[in-house]
Structure 1
């Protein structure tokens, strides 16, 4: 089976014509930076969605093409790349799976101009016309998980460790309220700039010991989360602390080398949490189109896959106008909403808790 999906470089999108009047979606996905390890999987999820749309005749008879923008850089340069593409009329819609600070910068240039679907877990709050968040906000994502883990492990003392940007800040505020509601308290909070885990980790491990935390919420992302979990393993704290993450997915767990402690949990709408039959069918289509050595599908890939299908459906209904996008998308989002299940790391993969 041949993959019927075209990936276009931004320079080509700016300067070359569209073959067959293609419907072009700007795809903002990290190919570098802290979250870059998720990029290949997310890209495969998008390509698989584009292939399926094209196999059904495209978008109103136009082939769906993806214009890849590296979303792994700093917010303003990424937003500037999107602005150039929009100014040239090179995009018909926009989809993104990247950090929330990049999202807010892209929203500034995309809102009220084009339909923009942002698919990962997000910090909550309102969005401007034309911007749809299909992921989940912190309280809804973490509430059931914190309650369940408190019941399972009798947790009383939480530490919160994340990167220093808008999403972890919102996560930590929600987690403090949720922990208090479960009869626990926060005894330590730290936020680390991207790429600083290796030089910050030893003092932070000492603080975790000194505060006698029994639970750790991780809102570090990508490579930073992998490095921190490796440090916990070296110190032995991985066996003492119950760890919960709202950003750990299959690629991060594989980069960690798996986990056998029974104390590492994720609250993500991950590939593992799909119902068995859809999960198997999606994996089979991915393997058939991308080969047996393709990246493992993860939460970000599944979110972007769904987001591209949502955009294609709205475009087919001629419902991409920013002013009416949220209203047009509402019934589709309700019908397609995935439940966030608590999953425990077991070796190289996740097992969903019943």
Structure 2
């Protein structure tokens, strides 16, 4: 690790986001959205009267390597907090190593159940995101048999277990599942399994470029015409990378879509375009979550008037902030928010419903 100087004139946050691997596809948007939030905070006076600075850390490396880097930054006093989007296996490696030492805002949708001291979560969990999406599609499309395809780590596997419960309660069933390593290139075997299963729909729990490759293969195999797909991790960058033909009958559930017509979202688009230009990476829920994370971390520290984790936790229930997803509040260290279902239309998502949990 490089030598870092401790600067007490600033509040420094380790921004952990993927710069490589399957999730690297939306890393650039994560970085720019976090930067936009930090600049906004600093224009309003910073945090505790100090400048808020971001220190990038590659969250796409191996979980233990990322955790070791973050823990070292915390131990050396270089960073006062941690925020960012990274997969759950990275979070599970980081959280115990910095528990109670600095506040940690995790911005990725995840499987639920995180209780580590000092960890706050801005994004969706299956009960509020997947369950109502499955309920709506099951009813509208008369789905009886779901097939699950996901990457082989904690978020897809635990979410799949939740999906099995939801399907049972809705009178449908999980007729098959397949978990593949991160970075999988060939989905032909999975597609044959889906075809043999006679599934009515596919629940897709794949990350970044893995989802892009699966969607392309799914379309080439001819399954899109008979089998809708639902993803809880699918943003505009991934849709664009897949191409228009890969998005037929593809649904996504999330707390943010670039196409949402709200005053907050329109303002966010304007700020993003003015700051980074027309050629900036497309906005999507995964990158935008890093904007939310920086705003939440600043709000938590400001409410506590301290960087101490216990002081921050003591005041967290009264914390609220306003961002592209509207006015949001913290409850039990999770941010509660509206969730939407959208359908791919070419290279964009069209929001078709607001979900109720």
TM-score normalised per structure 2: 0.91
8 Å CA contact 1:259, 1:346 repeated in 2: no
1:120-175 deviation per Cα after TM superposition (whole angstroms, max 9, x unaligned): 11111142111112222212211110010011111011000000111001110111
Q: Using a 3 Å threshold, how does the CA distance of structure 1 residues 259 and 299 change in structure 2: closer, same or farther?
A: farther
Looking at structure 1, the residues matched to 290 and 21 of structure 2 have their Cα atoms a distance apart, in angstroms, of 19
Q: CA deviation at 1:236?
A: 1.0
1:231-262 deviation per Cα after TM superposition (whole angstroms, max 9, x unaligned): 00111112211100010011111111135765
- Greater Cα offset, 34-43 or 56-65: 56-65
Looking at structure 2, the residues matched to 261 and 66 of structure 1 have their Cα atoms a distance apart, in angstroms, of 35
DSSP-derived class of the 1:239 partner: coil
8 Å CA contact 1:260, 1:346 repeated in 2: no
Looking at structure 2, the residues matched to 346 and 328 of structure 1 have their Cα atoms a distance apart, in angstroms, of 43
Residue 287 in structure 1 maps to residue 273 in structure 2: yes
- Greater Cα offset, 53-62 or 218-227: 53-62
Q: Using a 3 Å threshold, how does the CA distance of structure 1 residues 172 and 255 change in structure 2: closer, same or farther?
A: same
Looking at structure 2, the residues matched to 57 and 259 of structure 1 have their Cα atoms a distance apart, in angstroms, of 47
Q: CA deviation at 1:16?
A: 3.3
Alignment RMSD: 1.7
The structure 1 residue matched to 2:201, chosen from 188, 206, 215, is 215
* Counterpart in the other structure of 1:296: 282
Pairing 1:35-46 to 2, within 5 Å after superposition: 35-46=23-34
Q: CA deviation at 1:337?
A: 3.1
The structure 2 residue matched to 1:228, chosen from 214, 219, 236, is 214
Q: CA deviation at 1:343?
A: 0.7
4+ long deviations beyond 4 Å: 259-262
Residue 180 in structure 1 maps to residue 168 in structure 2: yes
Looking at structure 2, the residues matched to 142 and 272 of structure 1 have their Cα atoms a distance apart, in angstroms, of 20
Residue 329 in structure 1 maps to residue 328 in structure 2: no
Gaps of 5+ in 1: 1-9
The structure 2 residue matched to 1:256, chosen from 242, 246, 257, is 242
Q: Using a 3 Å threshold, how does the CA distance of structure 1 residues 324 and 125 change in structure 2: closer, same or farther?
A: farther
Q: Using a 3 Å threshold, how does the CA distance of structure 1 residues 326 and 216 change in structure 2: closer, same or farther?
A: farther
* Counterpart in the other structure of 1:7: none
8 Å CA contact 1:131, 1:322 repeated in 2: no
Q: CA deviation at 1:83?
A: 1.4
Q: CA deviation at 1:179?
A: 1.0
1:281-317 deviation per Cα after TM superposition (whole angstroms, max 9, x unaligned): 1011011111111111111222111111111122223
1:80-130 deviation per Cα after TM superposition (whole angstroms, max 9, x unaligned): 111111121000111020100000001021111110000111111142111
* Counterpart in the other structure of 1:107: 95
- Greater Cα offset, 273-282 or 242-251: 273-282
Whichever structure has more helix as a proportion of its residues is 1
Q: CA deviation at 1:270?
A: 2.3
- Greater Cα offset, 301-310 or 150-159: 301-310
DSSP-derived class of the 1:35 partner: helix
Q: CA deviation at 1:327?
A: 4.0
Give aligned pairs, total.
Answer: 340
* Counterpart in the other structure of 2:352: 353
DSSP-derived class of the 2:22 partner: coil
Residue 52 in structure 1 maps to residue 51 in structure 2: no
TM-score normalised per structure 1: 0.92
- Greater Cα offset, 265-274 or 211-220: 265-274
* Counterpart in the other structure of 2:337: 338
Q: CA deviation at 1:275?
A: 4.7
8 Å CA contact 1:188, 1:208 repeated in 2: yes
Residue 30 in structure 1 maps to residue 18 in structure 2: yes
Looking at structure 1, the residues matched to 227 and 41 of structure 2 have their Cα atoms a distance apart, in angstroms, of 45
8 Å CA contact 2:219, 2:245 repeated in 1: no
8 Å CA contact 1:42, 1:298 repeated in 2: no
8 Å CA contact 2:219, 2:246 repeated in 1: no
Looking at structure 2, the residues matched to 130 and 273 of structure 1 have their Cα atoms a distance apart, in angstroms, of 33
* Counterpart in the other structure of 1:120: 108
DSSP-derived class of the 1:186 partner: strand
Looking at structure 2, the residues matched to 343 and 320 of structure 1 have their Cα atoms a distance apart, in angstroms, of 38
Whichever structure has more strand as a proportion of its residues is 2
Looking at structure 2, the residues matched to 302 and 328 of structure 1 have their Cα atoms a distance apart, in angstroms, of 25
Q: CA deviation at 1:42?
A: 0.8
